[in-house]
Amino acid sequence: MQEIADQYENDPQVVLAKEAEQTLQEVKDKRKKKAEELVLAFSAMLEAQQDQAADEYENLVAAIEQKHQEALSEEKISLDEQKQAELEIEKQELQAQVESEKSKLKKEQEEAVEKVRQEAQREIFEKEIDLR
């Protein structure tokens, strides 16, 4: 039996089959190793792309926030200017009312003084008439 086994192992077809089987296993191992390397390389590329996308997203969010802040600042300035203009108009209206009221009071005072003066003159005139 040993003799048959030795013949079998020495048979060129058996030797080629063993070599082919060994070579097939080596090919499988190489493919597996290559697949693992490709997965690692792809994972590294994907991670780099994700990092870049995250950076771009953060930059985009920061730019949007900055534009929003600028718009708010401009709106605040515009509202402040509008409020200042409204206050100035209100101030002018109030000043006009004060001037009108002052003028009215001055006229009333002048009329009252004139009335008192006329009454005083009339009383003086009447006393002069009574004295004569």
Say whether pLDDT at 8 is over 70. no
Instruction: Give residue 18's pLDDT.
Output: 64
For 7-11, which contacts have Cβ atoms below 8 Å and span 24 or more sequence positions?
Answer: none
Count of alpha carbons within 13 Å of 92, Cβ hemisphere only? 5
* pLDDT given at position 14: 61
- pLDDT reading at 114 higher than 80: yes
- In the chain, % helix, strand, coil (3-state, to 5) comes to 100, 0, 0
Considering only CA atoms, give the Rg of the chain.
55
pLDDT of residue 15: 59
pLDDT grade for 10, boundaries at 50, 70 and 90? low
With 90 as the cut, is the pLDDT of residue 93 above it? yes
In this predicted structure, what is the pLDDT of residue 120?
87
Instruction: Name the residue among 63, 62, 43 with its Cα closest to residue 51.
Output: 43
Whether the CB-CB separation of 116 and 108 falls below 8 Å is answered with no
> Which tokens belong to 8?
């079998």
Name the token pair of 114: 């004139």
Per-residue pLDDT at 99: 96
